[in-house]
């Protein structure tokens, strides 16, 4: 079976007819009568031709000319053939350009550079006429090259791609590639990545291409969180998790030096011994001034990937969040506890009647429902205390009277709401039986009834206290209740939308930021470098993608930082080596005929010249 | 090819009047069997007294003038003018190459033949015209006297040109009787089938009884063709066609071959004591004839 990669050029085969016309209407030799041929150079006897032989030679000359033209046209049309008759399907290159592709290998080249080199060779080895399209993916897949048969175009597209400091989402990329290839198209997906194939990655039939290479070593920061300590202004806990992968996975540990710098100055230094393939999390207490630049650095000898070694964080300003305390009859113990929390300066409370509650008011970061339930689930984190009745979004059974519950069983002692809460000293007067909802986790159980629940309900944090503080003598007069309420509020506040002025958010690269004024101005982002200089990232859209690491600041004053924070990328940067390249089933038998056709055209030209023109060259 | 020239074309009366002052002669005296009208430098046995000469021992004593001996006491013999009859053979090449592609050659050959025939007739010699192709064919019976000039002109005017030239073959088959000893004029371009055929042809002609004169006629374009480029050459005699790419270098080679060809004929003639003369038809006929006279071999002034 033959196939033309560029069939649009086949119409040039009509030029063979032009050759025939040129042959038929060729310029004839001028006929000259002479007295004798004795003095003209007489051809040797063996060179004299009979008329029929001359006739054959003329036609042979035409046929050779037409064959030369056809060879040229077919070469231009990129003719290829396959004895087996199977038509070649298109090839879809699924190129991983996530952060791990920038990992440096033992040979000195990055994984991306090795992939580029290997891809160039494989593309050259493709049969002519096979369309190739390219999908690059990191956090999101993007079709960067529509199907084309031009190898040069594909290589130029690959040359323009660069690894990005973004985590890779291979599953989404595979799904996109499968959708793009279409069912039954016969398209072959070449997945170019350095990632180790997981057990569940075989949903899409693909050819994985991973360059060979020895194992690398990589240590990186995979999680960072800076949290203020409740009731301790200026005191913060820095949560850091560091992972080490790659070399020496069979045993031993990786020496990692963790540096914590504030405004460029070294504040703390920790030397970690992390088992290969494992991680170590630590909480570092820090006293930080608001607006400082906190920098966390992980150093390891022979580290393969630099993108996951550094995280910068704005130290947020401690501006209290506004909390709406809605109650018809405020509980005095709640008031006492809130007063203590308010003194810490992180939360500000406004008491109001249920009639004054406006669900659309955006001032509120938190809602405290004290003996009251709104008709609809509030759109902000909420703490419900002593719910009086059921609402449409919460099923509550009000008890006849308060039921003292002196013994409480702790269902989730590690939950942040119970942080440093001594549950054994607590006793409550249960006033309502709350039906657990999906996402809500019972923390305290009185018998089989949950009296304290916390969790994410409909995407937002919700804490429900199914008891009345004023009737819970053993609770109200102890430090348990203020601590419990404070934990609940801080936990909910941690889930709340970050305050633009707070600026403590550490977002993973690849996150999308919306313009603060989506109706008017496009998103405008400034990246703050270590020396304080800013690099603007203007967009025409109302969203901007965090495509690098570091501190950023939006035009409206919103501040934050971006970091890779991807355990997968940290692991893949090390695991990229030491794995044999995936087999590339180039369709055997498919051969490009361009070189053969060009050689045939040249050979025919030489033959035709030798046959018919060698005596005409003087 | 039928000739279309009438007598006026072949003959220029004014030029013929000039020819009246010439007559044909043999370069060397020869005792001919038949006596004719031509006087020779030698003495003969006619009744026309010419001179006296002292007697020598080799002379016939019957020629001694005894009367003069009686008066002078010395022996003198009487010399009489010798008059011989020559046979003039004019062979005109009638092959195709004499008429095409340059018809000037044909006209020149006919005018030359007519002029020679006129001289022969005017000198009271017998004149025979022949057509020369692949064989020699007589065009007229032996003619005598100027009254036969009309016959000569008619024969020449009606001479058809065509066919091939085969000089060796034609000369070998042409055997004129010795009784017709005389002068042979061969008017031809000498082109044949073989460029080296001059020697063979002249070898055959050397046996003819008489003096032979080869007048080679050719056109200037035959000595140096002007055409260049891709040519389809057609031989007018054989019809053979040949496609060539003719360049300046080819022209030089052609001219060298042509010169060698002419030199072969000249050398062959010289070896056999034949006269050889080349006439390029762009040279005026009168001028050529005068050049023929200037050689002083065949034509003499009265």
From CA B57, how far away is CA B72, in angstroms rounded? 19
Residues with Cβ within 8 Å of residue B44, at least 6 apart in sequence = B35, B80, B81, B82, B83, B84
A432: helix, strand or coil: strand
**Is A36–B237 a contact, with Cβ atoms under 8 angstroms apart?**
yes
Which chain A residue is nearest to residue B256, measuring alpha carbons?
A39
Q: Which residue of A has its CA nearest to B162?
A: A35
CB proximity under 8 Å: B 100-139 to A: 100-102
pLDDT tens digits, one per residue of B132-177: 888 888 988 989 888 888 898 889 888 889 888 888 888 888 888 8
Let me know if B215 is exposed, middle or buried by CB neighbors in 10 A (0-12, 13-18, 19+): buried
- A614 part of contact set with chain B, CB < 8 Å: no
Count interface pairs A-B at CB distance under 8 A.
Answer: 79
Q: Looking at this predicted complex, what is its ipTM? A: 0.78
**Residues of B with CB below 8 A from A47's CB?**
none
State how far the Cα of A335 lies from the Cα of A469, in Å rounded to an integer: 10
Provide the pLDDT for residue A292.
85
Give the C-alpha separation, B144 to B130, whole Å.
15
What are the structure tokens assigned to A529, written together? 């470098």
Residue B230, chain A, CB below 8 Å: the answer is yes
The residues near A503 (Cβ < 8 Å, ≥ 6 apart) are A314, A316, A317, A553, A558, A559, A560
Check CB contact of A37 with chain B, cutoff 8 Å: yes
pLDDT tens digits, B110-127: 988 988 888 888 878 889
Nearest CA-CA distance, residue B283 and chain A, Å:
19
Residues 65-84 of A with CB under 8 A from B: none
Burial of B171-180, coded b for 16+ CB within 10 Å and e otherwise, reads bbebebeeeb
Chain A residues touching residue B195 (CB < 8 angstroms): 38-39
CA distance between the termini of chain B = 39
Cβ–Cβ under 8 Å, residues A451 and A436 = no
Nearest CA in chain B to A39: B254
Which is nearest to A129 in space by CA: A191, A67, A81, A59? A81
**Which residues of chain A does B235 touch, with a Cβ-Cβ cutoff of 8 Å?**
34-37
Whether A215 contacts A575, CB under 8 Å: yes
User: What is the pLDDT, as a whole number, of residue B90?
Assistant: 92
What residue has token string 């004895």?
A: A83
Secondary element (H or E) of residue A192: strand A188-192
What's the burial of A266, exposed, middle or buried (CB within 10 Å: 0-12/13-18/19+)? exposed
Does any CB of chain B come closer than 8 Å to the CB of residue A35? yes
Q: How far is A30 from chain B (nearest CA, A)?
A: 5
Q: What pLDDT digit, counting tens, does each position of B83-101 carry?
A: 566 788 999 999 999 998 8
Q: Write down the pLDDT at residue A37.
A: 85
The answer to whether the peptide bond before residue B101 is cis (omega within 30 degrees of 0) is yes
| Residue carrying the six token digits 């000498």 | B190
The pLDDT value recorded for residue A579 is 47
Write the secondary structure of A567-606 as one string of H (helix), E (strand) and C (coil). Answer: HHHHHHHHHCCCCCCCCCCCCCCCEECHHHHHHHHHHHHH
Cα dihedral A70, A74, A80, A84 sign: negative
Instruction: Give the Cα separation of A486 and A416 in Å (integer).
Output: 10
pLDDT at residue A25, rounded to an integer: 78
Q: Is the pLDDT of residue B31 over 60?
A: no
How close A43 gets to chain B, by Cα (Å)?
9
Contact B3, B158 (CB under 8 A): yes
Which residue ranges of chain A lie beneath pLDDT 50? 44-47, 199-200, 202, 499-503, 578-585, 587-589, 617-618
CB of B224 within 8 Å of any CB in chain A? no
pLDDT at B39: 47
CA A170 to chain centre: 8
Q: Do B257 and A29 touch (CB under 8 A)?
A: no
Please state whether beta strands A409-410 and B182-188 pair in parallel, antiparallel, or not at all (unpaired). unpaired
Give the per-residue pLDDT at A221: 93
> Do B238 and A41 count as a contact with CB atoms less than 8 A apart?
no
Q: Does B234 sit within 8 Å of A34, measured CB to CB?
A: yes
B245 vs A43: CB contact, 8 Å cut-off?
no
Q: Determine the 3-state secondary structure of B83 from DSSP.
A: strand
pLDDT, tens digit, for every residue of B244-263? 878 888 888 889 989 988 99
Confidence at residue A199, expressed as pLDDT on a 0 to 100 scale: 45
Question: Which residue(s) pair with A136 in the sheet?
Answer: A95, A142
């Amino acid at each position: 079976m033959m196939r033309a990669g560029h069939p649009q050029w086949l119409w040039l085969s009509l030029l063979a007819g032009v050759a025939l016309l040129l042959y038929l209407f060729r310029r004839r030799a001028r006929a000259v009568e002479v007295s004798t041929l004795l003095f003209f150079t007489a051809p040797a006897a063996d060179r004299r031709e009979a008329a029929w032989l001359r006739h054959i030679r003329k036609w042979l000359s035409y046929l050779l000319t037409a064959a030369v033209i056809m060879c040229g046209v077919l070469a231009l049309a990129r003719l290829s053939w396959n004895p087996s008759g199977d038509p070649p399907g298109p090839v879809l290159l699924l190129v991983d350009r996530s952060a791990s592709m920038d990992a440096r290998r033992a040979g000195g080249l990055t994984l991306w550079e090795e992939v580029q080199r290997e891809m160039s060779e494989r593309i050259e080895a493709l049969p002519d006429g096979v369309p190739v399209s390219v999908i690059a993916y990191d956090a999101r897949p993007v079709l960067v090259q529509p199907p084309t048969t031009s190898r040069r175009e594909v290589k130029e597209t690959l040359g323009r791609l660069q690894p990005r400091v973004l985590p890779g989402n291979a599953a989404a990329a595979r799904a996109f590639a499968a959708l793009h290839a279409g069912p039954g198209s016969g398209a072959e997906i070449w997945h170019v990545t350095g990632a180790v194939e997981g057990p569940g990655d075989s949903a899409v039939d693909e050819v994985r291409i991973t360059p060979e290479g020895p194992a690398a070593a990589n240590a990186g920061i995979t999680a960072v969180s800076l949290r203020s300590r409740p009731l301790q202004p200026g005191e913060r806990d820095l949560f850091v998790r560091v992972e080490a992968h790659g070399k020496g996975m069979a045993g031993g540990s990786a020496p990692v030096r963790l540096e914590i710098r504030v405004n460029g100055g070294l504040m703390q230094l920790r030397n970690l011994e992390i088992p290969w393939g494992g991680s170590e999390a630590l909480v570092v207490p820090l006293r930080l001034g608001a607006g400082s630049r906190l920098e966390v650095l992980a150093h390891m000898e022979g580290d393969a990937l630099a993108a996951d070694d550094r995280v910068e964080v704005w130290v947020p300003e401690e501006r209290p969040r506004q909390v709406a305390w809605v109650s018809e009859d405020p509980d005095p113990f709640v008031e006492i506890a809130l007063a203590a929390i308010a003194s810490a300066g992180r939360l500000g409370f406004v008491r109001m009647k249920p009639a004054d509650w406006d669900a659309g008011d955006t001032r509120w970061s938190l809602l405290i429902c004290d003996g009251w339930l709104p008709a609809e689930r509030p759109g902000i984190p909420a703490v419900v205390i002593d719910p009086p009745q059921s609402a449409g979004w919460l099923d509550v059974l009000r008890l006849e009277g308060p039921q003292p519950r002196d013994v409480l069983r702790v269902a989730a002692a590690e939950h942040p709401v119970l942080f440093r809460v001594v549950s054994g000293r607590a006793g409550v007067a249960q006033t309502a039986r709350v039906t657990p909802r999906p996402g809500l986790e019972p923390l305290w159980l009185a018998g089989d009834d949950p009296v304290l629940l916390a969790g994410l309900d409909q995407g937002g944090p919700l804490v429900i206290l199914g008891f009345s503080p004023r009737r819970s003598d053993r609770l109200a007069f102890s430090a348990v209740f203020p601590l419990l309420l404070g934990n609940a509020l801080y936990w909910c506040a941690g889930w709340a939308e970050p305050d633009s002025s707070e600026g403590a958010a550490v977002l993973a690269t690849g996150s999308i930021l919306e313009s603060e004024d989506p109706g008017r101005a496009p998103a405008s982002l400034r990246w703050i470098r270590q020396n304080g200089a800013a690099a603007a990232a203007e967009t025409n859209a109302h969203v901007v993608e965090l495509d690098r690491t570091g501190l950023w600041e939006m035009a409206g004053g919103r501040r934050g930082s971006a970091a890779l924070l991807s355990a997968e990328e940290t692991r893949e940067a090390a695991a990229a080596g030491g794995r044999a390249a995936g087999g590339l089933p180039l369709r055997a038998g498919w051969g490009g005929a361009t070189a053969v056709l060009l050689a045939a055209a040249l050979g025919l030209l030489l033959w035709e010249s030798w046959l018919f023109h060698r005596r005409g060259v003087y | 090819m039928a000739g279309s020239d009438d007598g006026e074309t072949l003959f220029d009366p004014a030029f013929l009047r000039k020819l009246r002052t010439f007559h044909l002669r043999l370069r060397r005296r020869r005792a001919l069997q038949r006596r004719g009208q031509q006087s020779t430098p030698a003495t003969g046995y006619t009744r026309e007294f010419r001179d006296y000469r002292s007697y020598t021992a080799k002379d016939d004593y019957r020629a001694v003038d005894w009367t003069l001996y009686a008066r002078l006491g010395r022996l003198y013999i009487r010399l009489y003018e010798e008059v011989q009859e020559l046979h003039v053979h004019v062979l005109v090449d009638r092959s195709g190459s004499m008429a095409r592609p340059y018809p000037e050659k044909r006209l020149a050959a006919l005018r030359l033949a007519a002029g020679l025939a006129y001289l022969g007739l005017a000198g009271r010699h017998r004149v025979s015209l022949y057509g020369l192709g692949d064989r020699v064919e007589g065009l007229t019976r032996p003619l005598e006297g100027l009254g036969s000039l009309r016959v000569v002109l008619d024969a020449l005017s009606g001479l058809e040109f065509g066919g091939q030239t085969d000089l060796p073959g034609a000369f070998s088959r042409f055997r004129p009787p010795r009784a017709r000893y005389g002068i042979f004029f061969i008017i031809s371009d000498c082109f044949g089938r073989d460029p080296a055929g001059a020697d063979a042809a002249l070898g055959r002609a050397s046996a003819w009884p008489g003096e032979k004169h080869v007048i080679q006629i050719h056109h200037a374009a035959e000595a140096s063709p002007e055409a260049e480029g891709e040519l389809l050459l057609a031989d007018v005699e054989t019809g053979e066609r040949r496609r060539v790419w003719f360049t300046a270098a080819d022209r030089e080679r052609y001219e060298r071959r042509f010169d060698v060809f002419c030199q072969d004929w000249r050398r062959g003639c010289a070896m056999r004591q034949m006269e050889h003369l080349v006439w390029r038809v762009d040279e005026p006929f009168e001028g050529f004839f005068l050049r023929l006279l200037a050689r002083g071999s065949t034509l003499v002034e009265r």
